[in-house]
Amino acid sequence: MLKAEYAIIFYVLLIVLSLLVVRMLSKRYLKPVKYRKVKESISAYLYLLPSFVILGIFVFWPIFYSFYLSFFKWDFQNQGNPIFIGFQNYIELFKLNQPVNITFNEAFFNTLLIFMTAIFIIHLIFDLKKIKTPRQKYLIVCMSILGIISLLTINSIQYLNVVSALVLVVVYTILLSLHFADQMSNKIFLRIITFIGLWIAFYSLGVPEIIRFLSLAKEQSLFIKAIWNTTYYVLLSTPITILFALLIALLLNRKLYGKTFFRTVYFIPFVTSVVAISLVWQWIFNDNGLLNYILTQIGFSKTPWLKDQKFTIPTVAIISIWKMVGYYAIIFLAGLQNIDKAYYEAAEVDGATPFQKFQFITLPLLSPTTYFIIIVAMIGAFKVFDEIFILYVGMPGPYNNSGMTMVYYVYDMFYVQQRMGRASAAAYVLFGIILLFTILQMRSSRSRIHYES
């Protein structure tokens, strides 16, 4: 058998020989126009071949091989001969140490009932006058009665929630086919009412059962807790970072004295070492640090930022926001400077206010930049690790794994516990979650992105 280095050389020579054979055959049998296109393609791929080889050895091969090993028991004892165990690594990730007092099915369908009933009541209130046929009126009235009964019987009659939720989904699909949502004349007003209705459904009827299920399950599974903490961090840090970055970019885009200096100041945290940043913030968040000193001077008591588990994720989010806001502000600033000034001049002639110019010119034309930043910021937030590792001196939080994130879980499984198969499975679950959120973001933003051309 060939050794690894000889095998790589052999495959490279085989690819080059195949390309040369294709070139000779295309020169003889293809028409001149097609031959020219084939020749240009072959030349381009020959130039890219060294990059493909390097990427294949150091990027693609480890990715596929780690996915392959995620189906094996690959740890310190079985490092030389991994044992195939199928999906056992993935099952163990979500296995609970002890069962919680509520099943996932009950949690899911109870939450679905709250959501669907809130939406149905909104349609009942605002669409009943626009219903033209008695059949549609009968459907929506029956749906509302069914939703109210379902809400009253949550956790009281077994299996009724499941049946009611399925019936509600079917009825709502029928209503959507009748284009109830498209009959609204004021979409902004509908969005406000929908938001209020969902808010009431969440907090006046109680926290949805799926959240209660996850909050109980995360205490029985370390990986579920890592997903919970990572999601909490993403939802906390990403919107605030993007909002602050946009505000800073709008300020830096104005005619201000010394704005080049401020651009540099805002960008410095991004290029500074994460270790240095985390050590400085560790001193700031200390019991006798700068932040508590300022709080005591203005009349507040000291806060145990680094010792209380409820402050773990917010503390890391503050560091991340401070570090990344300048980088995204520079990208926003580049997008703002690419907007043609003629649009603003035309808006001023029409008497538009600054807010109207921001709403109807800046935001639509800045949507490609915003879309890019949302995707990059979300992916970066899911991979948070360095700040936690340095801030808590190699520990996932002060106690109770309050700072355990998905990347930290992969690190702990691979380097500390030497369970490489479990770590590979966790890494691909993280990849699937990021891929899912990215696809959803791409789908939802497709109709909202406006290109100037």
Q: Has residue 148 got a pLDDT over 60?
A: no
Q: What pLDDT does residue 1 have?
A: 39
> What mean pLDDT is reported for the chain?
77
Beta carbons within 8 Å of 370's beta carbon, 6+ residues apart: 242, 246, 332, 335, 363
Q: What pLDDT does residue 291 have?
A: 87
- Tokens found for residue 247: 């505000």
State the greatest distance between any 2 C-alpha atoms of the chain, in Å, as a whole number: 87
Q: Has residue 361 got a pLDDT over 70?
A: yes
Least confident span in 284-293, 315-324, 423-432, 437-446: 437-446
30 pLDDT band, cuts 50/70/90, is low
Q: What pLDDT does residue 304 have?
A: 86
Per-residue pLDDT tens for 384-423?
A: 998 898 888 888 988 888 889 999 999 999 888 888 899 9
- For residues 221 and 409, give the distance between their C-alpha atoms in angstroms, rounded to a whole number: 12
Q: Has residue 11 got a pLDDT over 80?
A: no
What would you report as the CA-atom Rg of the chain, rounded to the nearest whole angstrom? 28
CB 233 within 8 A of CB 239: no
CB 44 within 8 A of CB 23: no
CA angle, corner 137, sides to 135 and 140, nearest 5?
110
- Tokens found for residue 67: 């996915």
- Tokens found for residue 205: 């009827």
Per-residue pLDDT tens for 255-278?
A: 777 777 777 888 888 888 888 888
3-state DSSP percent of the chain in helix, strand and coil, to 5: 75, 0, 25
Token pair 């588990």 is found at 309
Beta carbons within 8 Å of 66's beta carbon, 6+ residues apart: 424, 427, 428
Phi and psi of 256, rounded to 5°? -120, 150
237 pLDDT band, cuts 50/70/90, is very high
Q: What pLDDT does residue 316 have?
A: 92
- For residues 323 and 104, give the distance between their C-alpha atoms in angstroms, rounded to a whole number: 38
- Mean pLDDT of all residues in 177-191: 48
Long-range contacts of residues 427-431, Cβ cutoff 8 Å, at least 24 apart: 427/66, 427/70, 428/66, 428/67, 428/70, 429/90, 429/93, 429/223, 430/382, 430/406
Partners of 83 in the beta sheet? 73
Q: What pLDDT does residue 181 have?
A: 44
10 pLDDT band, cuts 50/70/90, is low
CB 388 within 8 A of CB 316: yes
In terms of DSSP H, where are the helices of 153-289? Answer: 160-177, 187-203, 209-217, 222-252, 259-271, 274-284
Q: Has residue 168 got a pLDDT over 80?
A: no
- Mean pLDDT of all residues in 282-293: 87
Q: What pLDDT does residue 429 have?
A: 93
Q: What pLDDT does residue 382 have?
A: 93
155 pLDDT band, cuts 50/70/90, is very low
